[in-house]
Structure 1
Amino acid sequence: MKKTFLTVLFALMFLVGAKAQQVEFEEYKLDNGLHVILYEDNTAPVAVTSVMYHVGAKNETPGRSGFAHFFEHLLFEGTENIGRGKWFEIVTSNGGSNNANTTDDRTYYYEIFPSNSVETGLWMESERMLHPIINQIGVDTQNEVVKEEKRLRVDNQPYGNILKAVKENMFKKHPYRWTTIGEMEDLDAATLEEFQAFNKKFYVPNNAVLVVAGDIDKPKIKKMIKDYFGPIPRGAEVVQPNIKEDPITEQIKAKFYDPNIQLPMIIQAYRTPSMKERDAYILDMVSTILSDGKSSRLYKKLVDEKKLALEVAAINFSQEDYGTYITLAIPLNNTPLETLDAEITEEIVRLQNELISEREFEKLQNIYKNRFVTANATVAGIANSLANYYTFYGETNLINKELDIYKNITREDIREAARKYLNKNQSLYLEYLPKSEQ
């Protein structure tokens, strides 16, 4: 019965929001610094409770990588009032679901409940913030969980270390030089006291935003928030890293060996601006032109027509402090990596010298309109967007204005961004090779 009800709720969630271009929300701060955002939509009997902490892998120190991702797991262990192993049991017994995820820049926890159980979500997140139990048994248990995740998703996954290979070459000073999941020897070497200190420093109300969205009664929700989160003490002010990389002025050449692959890969990468810069939006469009779908330029040329590549992609990996623009290709029929590199470069140079067609530009605008609507077509999607806009941009109302940024990008802007950022002397040329070739 619970599964059936939950299925209906999720189905309803996917019908919510697609109609709306304007998201009406309310935001305020508690005395302890917790930022609160409320979004009411009574279309479906669903409520989302989420907390985003402004802590990710970039807040770690050398030799202690992986802490933020580790805490994504550790803070489900239990609290003073939620027994060890009971977290998920409480969620499912109330007809809900929950999850969490971590990036280099933030950690995000959320619960989706029938709206009559929204108080349970608020109580649980307040418990996670105020009363987490961080002891040796929890650390040891989650250490094994994270190790297994790393084995499955990274170490034993073909091409699972692409980001590691790129990051360690693109960044020499900034903590973006290590991966979000980190190194297991760093977690093994950490003491219980170090984990407790990390929690005390970052998982505090003044380093977080609480979003409650969906079928809610705002006056009642405000009282619950005050009751559950108001008593949580403010932490010390969190200062985000401000580490500048030296510009890349000549091409970096590197190799990385992966024991899980048989076919090599060629990677070109470029350091680009923060996700908060307008140019980051333009580079999103550049990547769409180059490799989004079978009609995209790189796919059509290298995979479909010339049959030089098995796979090809261009990715604008935007982050809070810097972005990384990555192109990659896997050769077909023993195509030399140098040939793929030349073909990809040719398409980039074409973007730098020629305006895209009006038809291509119109298609591009439609793609971004659809993406924006899809991202905010559910209550859960809106909650996530509101948290992101506040945390990274300090402007929650970007949820209603961001599409205009894409709409105002011109064909000339696309050409200029390609000229400014995608140049050989600013790039990493990385051969990602089978271990057998070492």
Structure 2
Amino acid sequence: MKKNFLLTLAITGFCLSASAQKVKFTEYDLPNGLHVILHEDKTAPVVAVSVMYHVGSKDEDPQRTGFAHFFEHLLFEGSDNLKRGEFMKTVSSNGGENNANTSQDRTFYYEVFPSNQLELGLWLESERMLHPKIDEVGVKTQNEVVKEEKRLRIDNAPYGKFTEKIFSHLFDGHPYRWQPIGSMEHLDAAKLAEFIAFFKKYYVPNNAVLSIAGDLDIEKTKALIAKYFTEVPKGAPVVKTVYELKPLSKQIIDTAYDANIQIPAIFAAYRVPGMKSRDSKVLQMISTILSGGASSRLSTKMVDEKKTALQVAAFNYSLEDYGAYITLALPNNNTPLNDLLKDIDAEVSRLQTDLISESELQKLQNQFENSYVSANSKMIGLAENLADGYTFHDKDTNNINEELEKVRSITREEIREVARKYLNKDQRVVLYYLPKK
């Protein structure tokens, strides 16, 4: 009787938790096409202001790669009303923080301020959108910044080029084949007019989402948004190119050499569906089964029991058009790389053959719920997830409230079928990543 009572309490608590996590939001469009999402949360006097532009490295000319990432930097140069170098100083001097990041599919800018500085955040983002400073001085300055970033994060970073090598094979025929940081030679060769044209094409209100979350008043915020963004002119419609890749039909084997490493690595990568697909969510769950924590299957087998691997991982690199499901291992005690690959393949084969247990499925669902709560615990995370839903899930901002239900509906049989469908040896790239002598 006591067990049943405790179980009832646990279930009730879970349902209440799920209900409490529902994110309320207000959304609408300005006449210039800017989509606005507002989430009010009075728990702390903080507000996050963000703009997501639906432009990434996949929108670039193959002879001018790196433009989207370059603009991540260039649009901090200032504006007609903000002196060069004053953007970040203005944020920090008013108690805020700011940053930006670029992927293959979008560019995301944000500020987090005390809530009494909401208007400042809106003004800054409207300045970035309306009349940023794009000139020869800024281009030259940021060119050097990007080159230094590439040296630090890719050229001189251990294992820094594995995605570049894998993606060149996995996405041959698609812009995903190059990395967001792009080519320094392309950036050096580009003229100022090309940068201006790229801005006018993609950094327009009708290709952006303004997402704000935190301690705000909805109606007052709407008035401020109208004040600062209505004058931004609408751009020409942004038409996305649709790329259809032929399925991989045989295993591709390649080798890369890296002077920054002493320990080799083995990678196996599979092309999988993009982030909108339900199968993409299933693949995330498969990643957690294989390498989500110390008790995961690969870690238990290869790191703890056999002690053949120093590190082992599996993850779903989810993008808009396609994704890359990547497994990797670093050897311990000079274990041959092929032995590591066999052990990983054996665990994948096990998933393709046997159903996971009911307790494993429950553990997975709990892990995903914890991850969901954690991702939305900060206002900037919430603002980004709201913008993601609109940008990448067919303008469904409410996707943020549907994620958990999708996870709870995934079955053990579905996990097995997705593993069978995508994680096959004749559909992958195997990369031997070796020290360069």
TM-score normalised per structure 2? 0.95
Matched residue type, 2:192: L
Asked whether the equivalents of residues 291 and 298 of structure 1 are also in contact (C-alpha less than 8 Å), the reply is yes
Query: Which stretch shows the higher mean deviation, 162-171 or 19-28?
Result: 19-28
The CA deviation at 1:241 is 2.3
The CA deviation at 1:20 is 3.7
Counterpart residue number, 2:428: 427
Distance (whole Å) between structure 2 residues aligned to residue 362 and residue 401 of structure 1 = 18
Q: Secondary structure at the match of 1:401?
A: helix
Matched residue type, 1:28: Y
Counterpart residue number, 1:40: 40
Determine whether 1:91 maps to 2:104. no
Q: Secondary structure at the match of 1:245?
A: coil
Counterpart residue number, 1:189: 189
Residue 405 to residue 19, structure 1, CA distance change in 2 (3 Å): closer
Q: Secondary structure at the match of 2:398?
A: helix
C-alpha offsets along residues 124-145 of structure 1, whole Å, 9 cap, x if unaligned?
1000000111001100100111
Alignment of 1:49-68 (within 5 A): 49-68=49-68
Counterpart residue number, 1:161: 161
Distance (whole Å) between structure 1 residues aligned to residue 310 and residue 201 of structure 2 = 46
Counterpart residue number, 1:322: 322
Alignment of 1:59-78 (within 5 A): 59-78=59-78
The CA deviation at 1:382 is 0.9
Alignment of 1:87-166 (within 5 A): 87-166=87-166
Distance (whole Å) between structure 1 residues aligned to residue 100 and residue 158 of structure 2 = 25
Q: Secondary structure at the match of 2:426?
A: helix
Q: Which structure 1 segments of 5+ residues have no match?
A: 1-16
Alignment of 1:238-317 (within 5 A): 238-317=238-317
Distance (whole Å) between structure 1 residues aligned to residue 306 and residue 186 of structure 2 = 45
Counterpart residue number, 1:4: none
Q: How many residues align?
A: 420
- The percentage of counterpart residues that share the same residue type is 60
Distance (whole Å) between structure 2 residues aligned to residue 150 and residue 18 of structure 1 = 42
Residue 159 to residue 18, structure 1, CA distance change in 2 (3 Å): farther
Counterpart residue number, 1:373: 373
Counterpart residue number, 1:396: 397
C-alpha offsets along residues 389-424 of structure 1, whole Å, 9 cap, x if unaligned?
111011001111111000100111110010000000
Distance (whole Å) between structure 2 residues aligned to residue 252 and residue 310 of structure 1 = 25
The CA deviation at 1:18 is 11
C-alpha offsets along residues 100-128 of structure 1, whole Å, 9 cap, x if unaligned?
11110000001111111100000010000
Matched residue type, 2:263: L
Matched residue type, 2:407: Y
The CA deviation at 1:434 is 1.4
Counterpart residue number, 1:358: 358
The CA deviation at 1:19 is 9.3
Distance (whole Å) between structure 2 residues aligned to residue 62 and residue 53 of structure 1 = 20
Counterpart residue number, 1:204: 204
Asked whether the equivalents of residues 331 and 340 of structure 1 are also in contact (C-alpha less than 8 Å), the reply is yes
C-alpha offsets along residues 279-326 of structure 1, whole Å, 9 cap, x if unaligned?
000000000000111111111111111111111100100100000000
Counterpart residue number, 2:414: 413
Distance (whole Å) between structure 2 residues aligned to residue 55 and residue 418 of structure 1 = 31
Distance (whole Å) between structure 1 residues aligned to residue 30 and residue 305 of structure 2 = 59
Counterpart residue number, 1:175: 175
Distance (whole Å) between structure 2 residues aligned to residue 337 and residue 184 of structure 1 = 33
Asked whether the equivalents of residues 18 and 377 of structure 1 are also in contact (C-alpha less than 8 Å), the reply is no
Q: Secondary structure at the match of 1:157?
A: coil
Matched residue type, 2:103: T
Counterpart residue number, 2:337: 337
Quote the RMSD (CA, aligned, Å). Answer: 1.2
Matched residue type, 1:342: K
Matched residue type, 1:147: K
